[in-house]
């Protein structure tokens, strides 16, 4: 349960929003905030059109000795309230608790850790996201105002970040597939390596041949593989 002031919303612990053409459900944390929690009051919460989840919440955030009122969407509020239970959370933990897609979660985290008001500290400090990222409550957050509004990012900015996340995850997947194949075979020709790599990865996504070639070159530069001196289309496993 989430403590609200009289007249506050929502009455349930989850809400829905439009995510592209699909409707996604965000699960709010089931917990009563305590005196020491950074976000103690979820007040004057208003849910927009029914089922849209596009309402506005006013949260009193405690940053050191200062209290700053944050005006956020209901979904940003749900995410912030997770930091009442701990100061540090991983991308995967947040996603599991809130029950959201990568696209939706990146949209929320981009707004809270990479925009004008950095209420959360992202590690590593980049605008690209991965499942290994960790987020920390920014107890030193300070602005010259008692009230700030934190909007969600524009659709085009969010799309670019999501695409970066997908590309990064696929690079890791291609690298792992190539290494597994070469570790088992020790020596393999280019065409066979690409063919086996496509077969392995096709269960997860449709791999691009150019991307596989690029990852092979990168693994050579990192001393995982080497070209045969007499036949440049043959590769040997090194690591």
Q: Name the band, by pLDDT with cuts 50, 70 and 90, for residue 153.
A: low
**C-alpha dihedral sign at 137, 140, 145, 150:** negative
Report the percent of the chain where pLDDT is more than 90: 31
Quick one: average pLDDT of 29-50? Answer: 47
pLDDT digits (tens, 9 = 90+) for 142-152: 888 888 888 77
Q: Under CATH, to which class is 160-237 assigned?
A: mainly alpha
* Torsion 139-140-144-149 (CA) sign: negative
Reported confidence tier of residue 28, pLDDT bands at 50, 70, 90: low
Q: How far is CA 50 from CA 10, 53, 55, 153, in A?
A: 11, 7, 10, 22
Pairwise pLDDT comparison (87 vs 19), residue with the higher score: 87
Lookup: tokens for 215: 């990852």
Class of domain 14-152: alpha beta
Tens digit of each residue's pLDDT (9 = 90 or more) over 107-129 = 899 889 988 889 999 999 888 88
Residues of the chain with CATH 3.30.230.130: 14-152
pLDDT for 64 beyond 50: yes
Residues of the chain with CATH 1.10.10.10: 160-237
List the single range of 20-29, 131-140, 181-190 with lowest mean pLDDT: 20-29
pLDDT attached to residue 42: 41
pTM above 0.75, yes or no: no
Other beta carbons within 10 Å of 147: 11
Check whether 194 has a pLDDT greater than 90.
Answer: yes
pLDDT at 191: 93
């Amino acid at each position: 349960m989430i403590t609200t002031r009289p007249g506050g919303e929502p009455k349930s612990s989850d809400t829905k929003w439009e995510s592209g053409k699909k409707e996604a459900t965000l699960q709010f944390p089931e917990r009563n905030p305590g005196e020491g929690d950074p976000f103690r009051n979820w007040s004057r919460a208003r849910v927009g059109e029914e089922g849209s989840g596009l309402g506005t919440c006013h949260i009193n955030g405690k940053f050191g000795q200062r209290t700053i009122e944050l005006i956020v969407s209901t979904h940003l509020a749900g995410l912030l309230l997770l930091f009442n239970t701990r100061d540090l959370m991983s991308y995967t933990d947040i996603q599991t608790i809130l029950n959201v897609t990568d696209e939706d979660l990146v949209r929320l985290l981009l707004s809270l850790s990479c925009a004008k008001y950095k209420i959360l500290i992202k590690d590593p400090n980049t605008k690209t996201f991965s499942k290994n990222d960790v987020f920390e409550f920014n107890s030193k957050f300070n602005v010259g105002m008692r009230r700030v509004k934190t909007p969600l990012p524009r659709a085009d900015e969010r799309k670019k970040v999501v695409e970066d996340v997908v590309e990064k995850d696929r690079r890791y997947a291609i690298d792992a597939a190539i290494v597994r194949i070469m570790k088992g075979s020790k020596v393999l020709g280019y065409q066979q390596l690409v063919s086996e790599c496509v077969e392995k990865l096709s269960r997860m996504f449709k791999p691009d041949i150019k991307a596989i070639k690029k990852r092979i070159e990168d693994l050579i530069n990192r001393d995982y593989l080497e070209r045969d001196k007499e036949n440049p289309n043959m590769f040997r496993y090194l690591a």
